[in-house]
Amino acid sequence: MSKFKEGKKRSIVASVTYLLLSVSKIILGLLFFSLVVYADGIHSITDFLTGIVVFVGLSLAERPVSEEFPFGMYKAENLASLVVAIVMAYAGIDIIRSSLFSGFGTIRYPLMLILLEVVSCIVTYWLSRYLSKTPGLKLYSVKAEGIHAYQDTLISLGVIVGVLGEWLNYHYLGKAVAVGVAVYILYQSYFIGKDSLLILLDISDKGAVEGIKKVVYTISEVVGVHEIKVRRAGPFLIASMHLEVPPSLSVKEADELADAVEEKLKESIDSLVYVSIHIEPGSFSGKWRIALLVDKDGNLVENIKDAKRVIIVDTWNKILEEFSLDKGDVRAMAEHLKKRKVGAVITNGKDDLLIMKAYGIGVYYSPVKNVKESLELFRQGALDPDVKSR
Ligand SMILES: [Zn+2]
């Protein structure tokens, strides 16, 4: 999978950038006695680590699924994020401790420190654009990194204010900015830590469930879907579901339908790597394609030879198609209905319409002739699929 090549490259570029920034900030902060710049340097180290974690996560995700890890090692990314969150929290607490309980001497070369932070502003702003424009697969971790890089730009602006405070002997301003940076780090570590922990515990992804539902219902033969379960693993989604299909389909046809659903899902949702589908006969209240055999007045016919027209309806979206019937050619009609993905025929008739069943189309016998009433009875599951001779 070379899907991650660009994401990996960009997270390495980000890491190297943050490493250079953090080393310069820590050295110059310590050398010239600026607590805020030093605190910002510690913050940049956590950003460097985040970049490494994203890189490692994507590298593990590239590994092919093995017998030992049948779902891949995608969760390594989440585990690593949790470690980063803990490191970040420690760094945050450490900065607060050192800002509150230690004097830091008198600042020197403040203009140079301000220049460093201006460079940091520009570089992190560029980085935020660079990361958020990563082409190809949408990688959650790279996107989050991009958002964070923009926050770094804002932090550097704050740090410039802090350096001015230290320079002009408003020490409280300097300390306040340092504590502010630390609180921000703690806040970030809380969210990153919470997210990775929840993903490790297989929290459900409601947005993805809705997305899957939408895609599945666009496939015309599908009657319904339920028990959709989605979990995250690194940048990926793993899903299982119960797919409702017309009960008249053969096992082979149902399997083909399940394959089509899987293919369409993977096509529409980039991050979906594994789909497991359990097939069930569709509930009558689901989305069915139904053909109705009617006479010239639009009522269901008793004998197929009286049928003048066929109406194909979608039980959710009303009438799809209406056409006149070629006298007698039931086979041609069955073929056409199959092509139009019809799952059931409703008739008031006495014919058993075996030919429909041979094409995998269910035949349901309505006790009434009115089309609307018959459809309503179908929805309630009140129509009999198995009347042979009446
Ligand atoms: Zn940052």
CATH assignment at residue 225: 3.30.70.1350
Six-digit token pair at 245?
Answer: 């299909």
Higher-pLDDT residue of 303 and 116 is: 116
Residues 75 and 175 in one domain: yes
* Percentage of residues of the chain with pLDDT beyond 90: 34
Q: What's the CA gap between 381 and 26, in Å, rounded?
A: 72
Gap from CA of 152 to ligand 1 centroid (Å): 5
Same domain flag for 117 and 231: no
Prediction pTM value: 0.74
User: How close is the Cα of 347 to the center of ligand 1, in Å?
Assistant: 68
- Say whether both 52 and 176 belong to one domain: yes
Distance 203 CA to ligand 1 centre (A): 26
Residues 153 and 241 in one domain: no
Which of the listed residues 172, 200, 228 is the one where a domain comes to its end? 200
Q: Containing H/E element for 259?
A: helix 251-268
**What is residue 349's predicted lDDT score, i.e. its pLDDT?**
75
Mean pLDDT, residues 24-42 taken together: 91
Residue 389: the pLDDT is: 44
Distance CA(315)–CA(217), nearest Å, equals 13
201 CA to middle of ligand 1, Å?
26
For the stretch 76-128, pLDDT in tens is 878 888 888 888 788 788 778 777 766 667 888 989 999 999 999 999 999 99
pLDDT at 352 over 80: no
For residue 390, tell me if it sits in a domain: no
Mean pLDDT throughout 316-336?
77
Instruction: Establish if 388 belongs to a structural domain.
Output: no
Residues 184 and 214 reside in one and the same domain: no
| 181 touches 36 (CB < 8 A) | yes
- Domain span at residue 174? 5-200
How far does residue 24's CA lie from ligand 1's centre (Å)? 15
Rounded distance from Cα 205 to ligand 1 centre (Å): 27
136, part of any domain = yes
Distance in angstroms (rounded) separating the CA atoms of residues 310 and 214: 29
Interval between CA 325 and ligand 1 midpoint (Å): 70
CATH number where 51 lies: 1.20.1510
Give the tokens for residue 285: 């209240």
Same domain for 37 and 22 = yes
With 0-12 / 13-18 / 19 or more C-beta atoms within 10 angstroms meaning exposed / middle / buried, residue 389 is: exposed
d(Cα 293, Cα 304) in Å, to the nearest integer?
Answer: 8
Is residue 208's pLDDT more than 80? yes
pLDDT score at 390: 44
What are 170-180's pLDDT values in tens digits? Answer: 878 877 887 88
In a domain, 96, yes or no: yes
Residue 25 lies in a domain: yes
Q: How far is the CA of 343 from the centre of ligand 1 (A)?
A: 56
User: Does one domain contain both 214 and 105?
Assistant: no
**End of a domain among 151, 183, 200?**
200
- Mean per-residue pLDDT, 277-294: 91
- Cα of 166 vs centre of ligand 1, distance in Å, is 22
Cβ proximity of 15 and 52 under 8 Å: yes
Arithmetic mean of pLDDT, 128-150: 82
Residue 319, domain CATH: 3.30.420.130
Determine the distance separating the centroid of ligand 1 and the alpha carbon of 91, expressed in angstroms: 12
Q: Give distance in angstroms: CA of 145 to centre of ligand 1.
A: 9
One domain, residues 17 and 83: yes
* First CA to last CA distance, the chain: 61
Task: Please tell me the predicted confidence (pLDDT) of residue 336.
Answer: 87
Contact partners, residue 42, CB within 8 Å, separation at least 6: 22, 26, 91, 94, 95, 185
Are residues 115 and 214 part of one domain? Answer: no
356 alpha carbon – ligand 1 mean position (Å): 65
Q: Say if CB 47 and CB 134 are below 8 A apart.
A: no
Q: Are residues 217 and 296 in the same domain?
A: no
| Last residue in a domain, options 200, 229, 247 | 200
Residues 229 and 296 in one domain: no
Query: In a 3-state reduction of DSSP, which class is residue 72?
Result: coil
Checking if the pLDDT of 35 tops 60, the result is yes
Q: How far is the CA of 36 from the centre of ligand 1 (A)?
A: 14
Q: Is residue 49 part of a domain?
A: yes
Distance 43 CA to ligand 1 centre (A): 6
pLDDT value at 317 more than 60: yes
The total number of structural domains in the chain stands at: 3
Distance 286 CA to ligand 1 centre (A): 49
pLDDT band at 147 (very low <50, low <70, confident <90, very high): confident
Q: How far is the CA of 27 from the centre of ligand 1 (A)?
A: 18
- CA dist., res. 343 & res. 284, Å (int): 11
C-alpha 139 – ligand 1 centre gap (Å): 19
Please report whether residue 263 resides in a domain.
Answer: yes
Residue 389 lies in a domain: no
Interval between CA 340 and ligand 1 midpoint (Å): 56
How many angstroms separate the alpha carbon of residue 196 from the centre of ligand 1? 18
In this structure, the answer to whether residues 130 and 228 fall within a common structural domain is no
Ligand 1 centre to CA of 47 (Å) is 5
How remote is the CA of residue 138 from the centroid of ligand 1, in Å? 21
| More confident of the two residues 194 and 351 | 194
pLDDT for position 372:
87
Other C-beta atoms closer than 10 Å to the C-beta of 316 total: 11
